[in-house]
Structure 1
Amino acid sequence: MSVKKILLALVIIAAVVAAVMFDVTQYLNLDTLKAQQTRVNGWFEAEPLLTFAIYFIAYVLVTALSIPGATILTLGAGAIFGLGWGLLLASFASSVGALLAFLSARFLLKDWVQSKFGQRLEAINRGVKRDGAFYLLSLR
């Protein structure tokens, strides 16, 4: 295993361990969303771009690390930012998070999966080689 793969695996493991240690999922439920909605709406009124950016990053991280709670974040995006902006945020953040999860899994496990499934992956490998990120987003 290369140094890059080891470093990426360590970063992912550290992020998941931190999420478990700080019990992040306790904040990703409907009751917490209801209780904090007024507070977050206040932040959004005071600093709309910063609030949007922080929410986007949090959503991407939850999705990329496969932490339960993306459904609550989707509902929260609509409740806090409204239908239009909430839909935009949830759509892009979930796609970016899924793309990061896919790319990291592909990078870390590519050799193992290739040896296990070989010929069945040939079409996907050609598509990624030809169209790169666009192919991955269209798979999503």
Structure 2
Amino acid sequence: MNTNDKDKAGWTRALPLVGILVAAIVGFFTLRDVLTFEALSANREMLIAYRDSHYLAAVLVFMSVYIVIVGFSLPGATVATLTGGFLFGTFPGVLFNVSAATLGAVLIFLAARWGLGERLAARMDSSGGKVKAIKQGIDENQWSMLFLIRLVPLVPFFVANLVPALVGVSLWRFAVTTFIGIIPGGLVFTSVGAGLGEVFARGETPNLSVIFEPHILLPILGLCALAALPIILKAVRGKEAL
């Protein structure tokens, strides 16, 4: 294969990721005023009626929309999570939310790995110096690092989907850590969604800052510390061995 053919193949492999980025940009300008809490409030009776008449179809449609929102990084993921709780309760709503978010994340991961990740990871492995050292450090602590970026509320979801693909993380590890790692936050927002009936009745908006309240944030930070513990122990043992 000559250089031109390699370049064309590279561009072809990058098309899914480029498509996601384009969809995210277009969605930001066209859907940010559509997939909102106000839209959910205005259509709540219709959604409840459809759920009551076609429960299985409602679950499938809801999860499909959620997967598309996450998979193409469209605005409205938080509203989708609230909707899952509102329509299906804390449970099984949290199961539907976490499963759909994981599948959407997998779409981004696969697009990034197919387009850039495999080649970038190979180059990092074949390079020397600090680049290779960073790659090895990530490889040695993959489980801990993956759980950590999912649990820390400040890490953007898109970034947490993209970075693992660029450093050669396996699909299995990515999917497992994503599913388990987003459960705490997903559970909080799903439970908020489950109480939206009363919020709608009072004409108020949901309190999404609840995740930063001590009785919720401290356990999540505890899980973060637990995920980071193997990394810290390895670093300490490494220093002792020097």
Q: Give the structure with the higher percent helix.
A: 1
Give 1:1-140 correspondences, 5 Å limit: 1=7, 2=9, 4-9=12-17, 11-12=19-20, 15-16=23-24, 19=27, 23-110=30-117, 111-112=119-120, 114-115=122-123, 117-122=131-136, 123=139, 128=170, 133-140=171-178
| Deviation, structure 1 residue 49 | 1.2
TM-score normalised by L of structure 1: 0.77
Q: Please, which runs of 5 or more residues in structure 2 have no aligned partner? A: 1-6, 125-130, 143-166, 179-242
| Deviation, structure 1 residue 37 | 1.1
| Deviation, structure 1 residue 26 | 2.1
Secondary structure at the counterpart of residue 99 of structure 2: helix
| Deviation, structure 1 residue 76 | 0.8
Change (3 A) 1:137 1:16: same
Secondary structure at the counterpart of residue 33 of structure 2: helix
Q: 2:14·2:111 contact (CA, 8 Å) conserved in 1?
A: no
The whole-number CA distance in structure 2 between the counterparts of 1:137 and 1:100 is: 10
Query: Which deviates the most, 4-13 or 49-58?
Result: 4-13
Q: Which amino acid aligns with 1:55?
A: F
Size of the aligned set, in residue pairs, is 135
Q: Which amino acid aligns with 2:20?
A: I
Show CA shifts across 1:3-32 (max 9, x none).
Answer: 7515424643564466357x2222221111
TM-score normalised by L of structure 2: 0.48
| Deviation, structure 1 residue 119 | 4.9
Change (3 A) 1:126 1:77: closer
The whole-number CA distance in structure 1 between the counterparts of 2:93 and 2:111 is: 27
Change (3 A) 1:104 1:118: farther
| Deviation, structure 1 residue 90 | 0.6
Change (3 A) 1:58 1:40: same
Secondary structure at the counterpart of residue 74 of structure 2: coil
Question: Which structure: larger Rg?
Answer: 2
Secondary structure at the counterpart of residue 27 of structure 1: coil
Secondary structure at the counterpart of residue 89 of structure 2: helix
Q: Please, which runs of 5 or more residues in structure 1 have no aligned partner? A: none
Q: CA RMSD in A?
A: 2.6
Change (3 A) 1:71 1:17: closer
The whole-number CA distance in structure 2 between the counterparts of 1:63 and 1:95 is: 9
